[in-house]
Amino acid sequence: MAELVTVILAAGKGTRMKSSLPKVLHKVCGKEMVRCVLDAATAAGSKRNIVVVGFGADEVRAALGGAAEVVVQEQQLGTGHAVLQAEPLLRDAKGTVMVLCGDTPLLTVGLLKKLYDEHEKAGAKATVLTAIMPDATGYGRVIRTAAGDVEKIVEHKDATEQEREVREVNAGIYCFEKEALFSALAEVGCDNAQGEYYLPDVLSILRGRGEKIWAVAADDYEETLGVNSRVHLAQAERILRRRKNLELMESGVTLMDPDSTFVDADVAVGRDTVIYPFTWLEGRTSVGEGCTLGPSSRFTDVKIGDGVTAHFVYAHECEIGDGATMGPFVHIRPDSHISKDVKIGNFVEVKNSNVGEGSKLPHLQYIGDCDMGAGVNMGCGTITVNYDGKTKFRTKIGDHAFVGCNSNLVAPVSVGDNAYVAAGSTITKDVPPDELAVARARQKNIPNWPDKRK
């Protein structure tokens, strides 16, 4: 069998989105719609993927990051015209071309496989995926003959009152025999309500030639929802989120309230992790086993180990080791590496720092640009003074150092292994290992003060 090639249409502006961002770059569950479609095609066995870009071509190309071949449709003259742009790239291709729209992010791998398998089995020149929509407004309607064969697809704007009653719609997803597709596209005109070259017209052209055209009905219309507006976007988001949450629960993750748990499409979560409400796991985040996350926490691009506890935490672009406990009210900023069994308590901010195994930051710390060893104890209110108004400097804290409450470590500075810093010190010189640094004014007590005051 020749290899499956997929063409994804993603050149449209998406006028109805009322956005400066190309429609297909709007995200559902943290992933650009066009990437959702592309990933589904790839997972369904498509060996070559060509994305037709146009409006915001550079942005779309950048978002694809080399994951697909790209061809530009300079003017958006319709879906049929868009597919034609891929023809030069398909000169040597043989067999089946699958065409998908970049605005149908809910497609599943199973559905695409079913479409492809049934197309091959039927030996049709064209197979269209259809769905019964509760509200078919805006979609192309599937018009069937009395015998039940697909006769044509009529766009909403071109449809008669009677045709608009039809709830079976074109999902905008097809398989074509390549030669038949391009020979029919050459005949597609633009004499319609939108003055566009409609891809679905290929079906009636082929039918007119006596060729076999076929339809596959999706069992679940939700998989075929096309996103044309922000309202559709929110619907798609809700459906994908529900699907993702179901997947997590089926794989052994406890969600205290799935309706208020927000996990992006590509996030992995290990077994026996428990997620409390209002928790967001975003982007390239991964979570190990047996963690307790949330409530009210947000993790963006964070690698979380096993057995981590975090509540009321915002962490982004960082790593959190096994057994760490954090929260409430903690902010872990980019390029931070929190090691195994670290304890971070309330009102702590960590930025661009390494915190060694078992170290404790229990309350009210600012740790920025710091390399901290293992078993360090940071007293309440300790601060790394990392910025002189011009340049950032690093602080180094050795293993098992003990930094007393309300100390400032003015970087660049180091505190050696097993060293102590007295509470209330402002440290401006390195503290050698095993030494105690006291850097505060000596206390003087003045007797009989009330009398002296008078």
Catalytic residues: 363
Under rule CB under 6 A, residue 101 binds ligand UD1? yes
Shortest distance in whole angstroms from residue 45 CB to ligand UD1: 22
Token couple for 299: 């993790």
Least Cα distance to 366 among 380, 355, 390, 382 occurs for: 382
Under rule CB under 6 A, residue 204 binds ligand UD1? no
Under rule CB under 6 A, residue 221 binds ligand UD1? no
Q: How far is CA 418 from the centre of its chain?
A: 44
Q: How many CB atoms lie within 10 A of CB 375?
A: 18
Among 28, 50, 51, 52, binds ligand UD1 (CB under 6 A): 52
* Interface of this chain with ligand UD1, residues 135 to 164, rule: CB under 6 A: 139-140, 153, 155
CB 369 within 8 A of CB 361: no
Q: Per-residue b/e over 360-369, b at no fewer than 16 CB within 10 Å?
A: bbebbbbbbb
Q: Which stretch binds ligand UD1 (CB under 6 A): 78-86, 125-133, 271-279, 330-338?
A: 78-86
Closer CB to ligand UD1, residue 50 or residue 52?
52
* Interface of this chain with ligand UD1, residues 284 to 323, rule: CB under 6 A: none
Q: Round to whole Å and give the CA distance between 315 and 332.
A: 4
Region of 317 (left: φ > 0; alpha: ψ -120 to 50; beta: rest) is left
Q: Round to whole Å and give the CA distance between 362 and 348.
A: 8
Report the DSSP pairing between strands 150-154 and 141-144: antiparallel
Shortest-Cβ-distance residue relative to ligand UD1? 140
Under rule CB under 6 A, residue 105 binds ligand UD1? no
Shortest distance in whole angstroms from residue 315 CB to ligand UD1: 35
Under rule CB under 6 A, residue 200 binds ligand UD1? yes
Under rule CB under 6 A, residue 64 binds ligand UD1? no
Shortest-Cβ-distance residue relative to Ca ion? 226
Token couple for 317: 């672009």
Question: Residues binding ligand UD1: what is the number (CB under 6 A)?
Answer: 31
Token couple for 168: 């079976």
Contacts with 35 (C-beta within 8 Å, 6 or more apart), sequence order: 63, 64, 67
Contacts with 145 (C-beta within 8 Å, 6 or more apart), sequence order: 151
Among 79, 285, 384, 408, binds ligand UD1 (CB under 6 A): 79
Token couple for 386: 């990392």
Closer CB to Ca ion, residue 228 or residue 426?
228
Under rule CB under 6 A, residue 168 binds ligand UD1? no
Residue 78 contact, options ligand UD1, Ca ion, none, Cβ 5-8 Å cut-off depending on partner type = ligand UD1
Residue 24 contact, options Ca ion, ligand UD1, none, Cβ 5-8 Å cut-off depending on partner type = ligand UD1
CB 398 within 8 A of CB 418: yes
Under rule CB under 5 A, residue 341 binds Ca ion? no
**3-state DSSP call for residue 32?**
strand
Under rule CB under 5 A, residue 226 binds Ca ion? yes
**3-state DSSP call for residue 284?**
coil
Q: Which helix (H) or strand (E) holds 281?
A: strand 279-282
Q: Which stretch binds Ca ion (CB under 5 A): 96-104, 200-208, 405-413, 433-441?
A: 96-104
Under rule CB under 6 A, residue 103 binds ligand UD1? yes
Least Cα distance to 128 among 81, 176, 166 occurs for: 176
Residue 233 contact, options ligand UD1, Ca ion, none, Cβ 5-8 Å cut-off depending on partner type = none
Among 10, 97, 99, 124, binds ligand UD1 (CB under 6 A): 10
Q: Which stretch binds ligand UD1 (CB under 6 A): 144-152, 167-175, 241-249, 371-379?
A: 167-175
Least Cα distance to 226 among 15, 76, 24 occurs for: 24
Under rule CB under 6 A, residue 126 binds ligand UD1? no
Token couple for 142: 């599937």
Maximum distance among all Cα pairs of the chain, rounded to whole angstroms: 113
Query: What type of residue sits at position 427?
Result: I
Shortest distance in whole angstroms from residue 214 CB to ligand UD1: 17
Residue 182 contact, options ligand UD1, Ca ion, none, Cβ 5-8 Å cut-off depending on partner type = none
Under rule CB under 6 A, residue 36 binds ligand UD1? no
Under rule CB under 5 A, residue 105 binds Ca ion? no
Closer CB to Ca ion, residue 226 or residue 404?
226
Angle at 271 between CA 265 and CA 275, to 5 degrees: 65
Q: Which helix (H) or strand (E) holds 48?
A: strand 48-53
Q: Which stretch binds ligand UD1 (CB under 6 A): 77-85, 290-298, 347-355, 434-442?
A: 77-85
- Positions in the binding site for Ca ion (CB under 5 A): 103, 226, 228
- Positions in the binding site for ligand UD1 (CB under 6 A): 9-12, 24, 52, 54, 73, 76-79, 81-82, 101-104, 139-140, 153, 155, 169-172, 198-200, 226, 228
